[in-house]
Amino acid sequence: MAYPKHSMDIRNIAIIAHVDHGKTTLTDAMLRQTGAVEEGVTMDSNTLEQERGITIYSKNASCVYKDTRINIVDTPGHADFGSEVERVLRSIDCVLLVVDAQEGPMPQTRFVLKKSLELGHRPVVVINKIDKPAADIDRTHNQVFDLFAELGATNEQLDFPTMLAIGRDGVAKEKVEDDSKDLTPLLELILQHVPVASGNDEKPLRAQPFNLAYDNYLGRLGIVRVYDGVLRMGESVIARNTEGSWQGKVTKLFSFHGLSRTEVDEVRSGDIAIVAGIPDIFIGQTLSHDDSVELLPAISVDEPTIELSFLVNDSPFAGREGKYVTSRQIRERLEKELEVNVGLRVVFDQGGGERFTVRGRGELYVAILLEQMRREGYEVQVSQPRVIEKEIDGKRCEPFEEISVDIPESHQGVVIEKLGARGARVTSMEQHEDRVHITLEGPTRGLFGYRNQFVMDTKGEGILSTRVVGFQPYAGEIAHRDVGSMISQVTGKALGFALDNLQTRGTLYIDANTEVYEGQVIGDTSKGDEMTVNPTKGKQLTNMRSKGADDAIKLIPPKYLTIEGGLEIMAEDEYLEVTPNSVRLRKQQLTENERTKARRK
């Protein structure tokens, strides 16, 4: 199949925003209204993305409006996936910055906008969700302008066009009073403001991969932007960077049409496509026909900030649920993940091949990988996350994050107190009616285990966002846990009678009739001390009658463990056991004698 309409103008745009400000909803509406996809189809096609309501992987799509091909890249809004956004921004010509009309610019808005402005893009600002009851369009516009100025925008960048939108309804308008029924005003603005993709078909080929994908039949795929020349099927190409060069032959070429990919014979300059057949293709390389072509600027990838160990599951319940339980199978799965996940680092060959050190950008980053593995049938156990420290100018340094909280005024005292105890310091505070927006700066280490606490402290009404700001001197010791572990001393089935007594001592993680094993953490103790208990203890049966003996047992619903919750609350001497149907917390040493010996060392 030949590539359609060679003369068609191309516009390459990325949609960037803070998490949950409406990027994907707006993109879906644009694709529907231009006929690129059918009703009900969404860019967040991954099951995990649909369950969590967030974008995890950047995705490409394409639509045609007025004989112009618009390539759209939808990017993740969560800070843990920020390295994906950086790479995408290098491959496009303009960005749509989506901002919630009520919340205004948030930390990830600042992060992605800063990168965009540094690359010289002139963003189009879309103030979304203008139908919210507390939406304030003028205040949001002023905040965005102030943010542009603060980030060092040029005069041309400060003169940004603004569009108002209700992404959910698929409506865009220039002014609130305009009677618009669809996204035509936004599409017209894209044609007016976004430059036509540059490039010269007559020049030698220069293309650059900005993302990777994997196909079980085709192997590693590169998602590339062609800057000059034409990339054709069957051609031999060289993938080069400052470290070396790798030869390959283009076996397949795909172009984007809506959300689907269509096989094509050639891709011309200015377009975005998928290329297969180059086994060593990697982000930031320059694809060319010979070595004489000048290299394109390299694309840097954010370095990891946390690490944890992946181990073979050796608990008493190992192998009950999973299909893949050996170190070889876990190793192969991590190697496959490294094919496409460039923000991940894995150190193999530790602990006799039974332990792998995995490094990523944050707890959510690792939790997503664990969730994918368990759904594929893997069993694994992981250690407590640790921050990656560095020595800079002879000083011990650790990653710091900017923490942004938006909370009701009545909760600001407890939030500042808790974050202060974790090494964070307030840098700014603004009040809007009955809500307070506080910006703090503190060590990444101090945030481990805080997110769940934040939800409880603000009764679910607060918004917490973070972004890594770099390495700063070590902030000293931080006490994370004010609760202890409630550990089962036997293997068996937990009974309601025993749990009824234990629930007065803390919070339980299990229900009645749940199977437990010796050394499993079944709850936490409110006094902060470790407590070894017997959750399988039954009621003593006797033929003597006593008052109150038959009182009904009333069990408080337990706090079921999730992967993220477990990573947050686990202690240093514990493992989180992740299997296809269960998430359990356990001690590294299962028996009381082993734990006592370990403490003496």
Per-residue model confidence as pLDDT tens digits over 564-588 = 888 888 888 899 999 999 999 999 8
> With bands split at pLDDT 50, 70 and 90, how would you rate the model's confidence at 165?
confident
Q: Is the pLDDT of residue 521 over 90?
A: yes
The predicted-structure confidence for 541-557, as pLDDT tens digits, reads as follows 777 666 555 567 788 88
Q: Is 217 exposed, middle or buried (0-12, 13-18, 19+ CB in 10 A)?
A: exposed
**pLDDT per position as a tens digit, 199-240:** 777 888 888 888 887 777 888 888 888 888 888 888 888 888
Dihedral sign computed on CA atoms, order 347, 350, 356, 358: negative
The length of the chain is 601
**Is residue 480 over pLDDT 70?**
no
Give residue-wise pLDDT tens across range 45-93. Answer: 555 545 555 555 567 788 888 888 888 887 765 555 656 677 778 788 8
- pLDDT, mean over the chain: 82
The vertex-550 CA angle with 548 and 552, nearest 5°, equals 105
Whole-number Å distance between alpha carbons of 238 and 578: 42
What's the pLDDT score for residue 47?
59
Q: How confident is the model at residue 383 (pLDDT cuts 50, 70, 90)?
A: very high
pLDDT of residue 107: 65
Helix (H) or strand (E) holding 62: strand 59-65
Partnered with residue 328 across adjacent β-strands are none
> What b/e sequence results for 475-493 when a residue is b if at least 16 CB atoms lie within 10 Å of its CB, and e otherwise?
beeeebeebbbbbbbeeee
Nearest to 120 by CA among 162, 144, 84, 92: 92
Average pLDDT over residues 512-521: 92
When pLDDT is averaged across residues 276-296 and rounded to a whole number, the result is: 83
Distance between CA atoms of 472 and 465, rounded to whole angstroms?
20
Stretch 145-166: mean pLDDT, rounded? 87
pLDDT of residue 481: 67
CA 265, CA 90: separation in Å to the nearest integer?
25
pLDDT of residue 1: 34
Element at 46 (helix H, strand E): none
Tell me how far apart the terminal alpha carbons of the chain are, to the nearest angstrom.
Answer: 69
43 has a pLDDT exceeding 50: yes
User: What pLDDT score was predicted for residue 5?
Assistant: 44
As a whole number, mean pLDDT of residues 495-508 equals 89
Q: What is the DSSP letter of 490?
A: S
For range 131-138, the mean pLDDT: 85
Q: What is the mean pLDDT of residues 511-529?
A: 89
Phi, psi of 526 (to 5 degrees): -70, -20
pLDDT of 254 above 60: yes
Residue 54, pLDDT score = 56
Q: Residue 258 carries which DSSP code?
A: B
Instruction: Taking the CA atoms of 502, 507, 513 and 518 in sequence, report the sign of the dihedral they define.
Output: negative
DSSP single-letter state for residue 409: G
Distance in angstroms (rounded) separating the CA atoms of residues 368 and 52: 11
Average pLDDT over residues 331-349: 83
Task: Give the per-residue pLDDT at 392.
Answer: 86
Q: 102-141 burial, b for 16+ CB within 10 Å, e for fewer?
A: bbbbbbbbbbbbebbbeeebbbbbbbbbbeeeebbeeebb
Q: What is the pLDDT of residues 385-427, one digit of tens each?
A: 888 888 888 888 888 888 888 888 888 888 898 888 888 898 8
Domains and CATH numbers, the chain: 9-193 (3.40.50.300), 206-288 (2.40.30.10), 390-473 (3.30.70.240), 484-542+549-569+586-600 (2.40.50.250)
Residue 428 has pLDDT above 70, yes or no: yes
pLDDT of amino acid 58: 62
In sequence order, which residues have a C-beta less than 8 Å from that of residue 76 and are 6 or more positions away? 19, 54, 55, 56, 57, 58, 82, 84, 85
Average pLDDT over residues 106-121: 78
Q: Residue 28's closest CA among 85, 80, 90, 98?
A: 98
Q: Which of 2-6, 77-81, 491-495 is modeled with the greatest confidence?
A: 491-495
Would the pLDDT of 378 be above 90?
yes
Q: What percent of the chain has pLDDT over 90?
A: 10
Average pLDDT over residues 118-135: 86
Alpha helices by DSSP H, 327-439? 327-340, 363-375, 412-421
Whole-number pLDDT of residue 3: 38
pLDDT in tens, 9-32: 888 888 887 767 777 788 888 888
pLDDT, position 2:
37
**Cα angle 318-323-327, degrees, rounded to a multiple of 5:** 70
The winner for highest mean pLDDT among 231-245, 471-485, 509-523 is: 509-523
Residue 583 has a pLDDT of 92
User: Where is 70: in which H helix or E strand?
Assistant: strand 68-74
Residue 381 pLDDT more than 90?
A: yes
